[in-house]
């Protein structure tokens, strides 16, 4: 596992602290990890929707669907 250090402005830091206080995450680290996973899922969905639009427009798609599915 890798550890990263990121600066947060006061607003974001207070939000993270509040979410932990409310019990929505057990720690700041957990909340940040969950946010990254959510970002990754959203990016994957965006990729699928973009491909769907390209199919609709008749554009050829490239790549391996098995590799794409591994990302999700």
Report if pTM > 0.85. no
User: Is the residue at 6 inside a domain?
Assistant: no
Structure tokens at 3: 């550890």
Number of domains in the chain: 1
Domain limits for position 50: 40-72
- Whether 61 is covered by a domain: the verdict is yes
Asked if the structure places residue 2 within a domain, the reply is no
The verdict on residue 69 lying in a domain is: yes
Residue 26 lies in a domain: no
Name the strand (E) or helix (H) holding 72: none
Tell me, yes or no, whether 33 lies in a domain.
Answer: no
User: Residue 19 domain-assigned?
Assistant: no
Tens-digit pLDDT profile for residues 7-62 = 999 999 999 999 999 999 999 999 999 999 999 999 988 888 888 887 777 776 66
For residues 1 and 18, what is the distance between their CA atoms, to the nearest angstrom? 26
Asked whether residue 35 is assigned to any structural domain, the reply reads: no
Q: What is the three-state SS of 19-54?
A: HHHCCCCCCHHHHHHHHHHHHHHHHHHHHHHHHHHH
């Amino acid at each position: 596992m890798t550890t990263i250090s990121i600066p947060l402005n006061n607003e974001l830091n207070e939000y993270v602290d509040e979410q932990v206080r409310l019990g929505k995450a057990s720690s700041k680290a957990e909340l940040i990890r969950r946010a990254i996973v959510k970002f990754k899922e959203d990016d994957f969905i965006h990729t699928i929707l973009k491909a769907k639009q390209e199919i609709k427009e008749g554009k050829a798609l490239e790549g391996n669907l098995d590799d794409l599915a591994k990302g999700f």
